[in-house]
Amino acid sequence: MRTGSLRIFRIAGIDVYVHVSWLVIFALVTWSLAEGYYPRLLPNLSSAQAWALGALSALLLFASVLVHELAHSLVARTRGIEAASITLFIFGGVSSLRTESTRASSEFLIAIVGPLTSLALAGVCFVFAAALGEPRAAALLGYLALINALLGGFNLIPGFPLDGGRVLRAIVWQVTGDASRGLEIAVGAGQLVGYGFMVWGVMQVVGGDAFNGIWIAVIGWFLQSAGAATLRQVRSEQRLSGLRVRDVMRPDATAIVPGASVATLIDEYLLPGNRRALPVISAGRVVGMITLRDIQGVPPAARAATRVEDVMGGREAVVTVTPDTPLAQALEAMLAGDFEQLPVLDDGRLIGVLTRADVIRQVQLREALHLG
Ligand SMILES: [Zn+2]
């Protein structure tokens, strides 16, 4: 998720990231406004002013997307769902929430507030654009009104992963009482919309409008592949449902002490045991996790003098699971923290390790056997 993204600031406790693809959009929007929209609307504008207005509009487009995403995150918070971060990327923004809604009403409110906020912003900009006499301000606000109306309108299309798709999911969920049925229908609708956009894009290209056509087709491709990916993820979560950590974990209580050297770790634990990681235990308590990744920064010559506790992960807080933790929840924790393995504790005592590879293998096994 974070790959290729830059953290730019933190607002209301939510980290805001910008994906590098957004820089492309910034340049494209600035250019098309400075060379097309503004000179057409204001023929007396100097080139420098047109470019300045173009760049300002691109920044305010960014702010509009951010406000839309913040609306999702803040409503999620009032429904008890913590908002982790917002990433702005080529097609808009993505709010990442720490957990999924557990109620259809929450899903509905969190989804609908984004497009409503954009449409409200569009209305405000429109009113000010009409009221202001200054032609440059009016042109800028007119652009913002249009862009926010598009943002709100596009996101209301009832296909997952768009907000309208989430609204559809919540409605089906509420009516049938079945959350995954709701998602399946919303994803199906999203894929139809995606294919529709692709066909429309191709028709535009054939009709001679290559630029818009390709753009529309790419959006369509994005929509249908995002839906397919979500559905795959949900299917594998369903395959995991009912399974617990004890079903997949390796019962292996081997651990190392914090004061051991990295050389000892490699020669006596990792290589002989064919392991990539090991829990670190002090006074019977798991205090960290040492992985290949942690020791890769230690040069071979320094391995004898470097202690495990100096480079191990989880020094602030170790993420652990118990044998009874649902496997889907354990996998979520691994993905959220980018962990390859988690120590399994029973009554605080280390009894084994759960690796991401083992969870994935279990999913594939069940898939091949048509189980779950
Ligand atoms: Zn949205």
State the CATH number of the domain containing residue 300.
3.10.580.10
Same domain, 275 and 317: yes
Q: Which of 35, 69, 107, 184 is catalytic?
A: 69
How confident is residue 372, by pLDDT bands cut at 50, 70 and 90? Answer: low
Segment 187-215 mean pLDDT: 90
* Helix, strand, coil percentages in the chain from 3-state DSSP, rounded to 5: 60, 15, 25
Average pLDDT over residues 9-20: 84
Do 168 and 54 lie in a common domain?
Answer: yes
The Cα 314–Cα 3 span in angstroms is 21
Residue percentage of the chain with pLDDT more than 70: 95
CA of 309 to the centre of ligand 1 (A): 43
CB atoms within 10 A of CB 275: 18
83-89 and 14-19: which strand pairing? parallel
In a shared domain, residues 262 and 353: yes
Average of pLDDT values for 123-148? Answer: 90
User: With bands split at pLDDT 50, 70 and 90, how would you rate the model's confidence at 234?
Assistant: confident
Region of residue 175 (left: phi > 0; alpha: psi -120 to 50; beta: else) = alpha
- Among 48-62, 72-86, 334-348, name the most confident range: 48-62
Identify whether the C-beta of residue 372 lies closer than 8 Å to the C-beta of residue 242: yes
- Mean pLDDT score across all residues of the chain: 87
- Of 240, 261, 280, at which residue does a domain stop? 240
The CA 114 to ligand 1 mean position distance, Å, reads 5
User: 111 C-alpha vs ligand 1 centroid, how far in Å?
Assistant: 6
Active site residue 69: yes
Average pLDDT over residues 85-112: 77
One DSSP character per residue, 228-283 reads: HHHHHHHHHHHHHTT-BHHHH-B-----B-TTSBHHHIIIIIIHHHT-SEEEEEET
Residue 133 shares a structural domain with residue 249: no
Window from 80-84, 109-113, 183-187, 299-303 with minimum mean pLDDT: 80-84
Number of structural domains (the chain) is 2
In angstroms, what is the span from residue 72 Cα to ligand 1's centroid? Answer: 7
| pLDDT mean over 102-108 | 87
Instruction: Please report, for residues 26, 168, 276, 330, the alpha-carbon distance to residue 358 in angstroms, rounded to integers and kept in the order given.
Output: 42, 35, 13, 12
pLDDT of residue 90: 61
Q: Which of 207, 222, 240 is the last residue of a domain?
A: 240
Rounded to an integer, the average pLDDT of 312-339 is 84
CA angle, 237 as apex, 233 and 241 as ends, to 5°?
A: 170
* 230 and 139 both lie in a single domain: yes
Q: Within this chain, do residues 278 and 250 fall inside the same structural domain, yes or no? A: yes
State pLDDT tens for residues 53-75.
999 999 998 899 999 999 998 99
Contacts of 296 (CB under 8 A, 6+ apart): none
Q: Tokens for 54?
A: 């173009």
Over range 219-223, report the average pLDDT.
Answer: 86
Q: Are residues 97 and 190 in the same domain?
A: yes
DSSP code, position 32 = H
- Length reported for the chain: 372
Q: What is the pTM of this model?
A: 0.68
pLDDT digits (tens, 9 = 90+) for 170-187: 999 999 988 888 888 988
Cα–Cα dist 121/131, whole Å: 15
Q: Are 352 and 329 in contact (CB under 8 A)?
A: no
Residue 16 in this model has a pLDDT that exceeds 50 = yes
Q: What is the pLDDT of residue 99?
A: 65
Per-residue pLDDT, averaged over 115-126, amounts to 96
User: Do the beta carbons of residue 263 and residue 304 sit within 8 Å?
Assistant: yes
* Gap between the Cα atoms of 187 and 223, Å rounded: 9
Binning pLDDT at 50, 70 and 90, where does residue 28 land? Answer: confident
Alpha carbon separation from 59 to 29, 231, 297 (Å, rounded): 10, 34, 39
Of 214, 240, 266, the residue at which a domain comes to its end is 240
DSSP three-state, residue 97:
strand
The order of strands in the sheet holding 83-89 is 5-11, 14-19, 83-89, 92-97
Q: Tell how far the Cα of 308 is from the centroid of ligand 1, in angstroms.
A: 45
The pLDDT of residue 98 is: 61
Domain co-membership, 155 together with 269: no
Do 219 and 348 fall within a single domain?
no
Q: What is the pLDDT of residue 200?
A: 93
Containing structural domain, residue 16: 5-240
3-state secondary structure of 131: helix
- Same domain? 125 vs 226: yes
In angstroms, the CA 217 to CA 12 distance is 36
Report pLDDT for 97: 64
Same domain for 254 and 210? no
Q: How far does the centroid of ligand 1 lie from the alpha carbon of residue 327, in Å?
A: 30
Domain match, 61 and 88 both: yes
Both structure tokens of 136? 């440059």
1: pLDDT strictly greater than 50: no
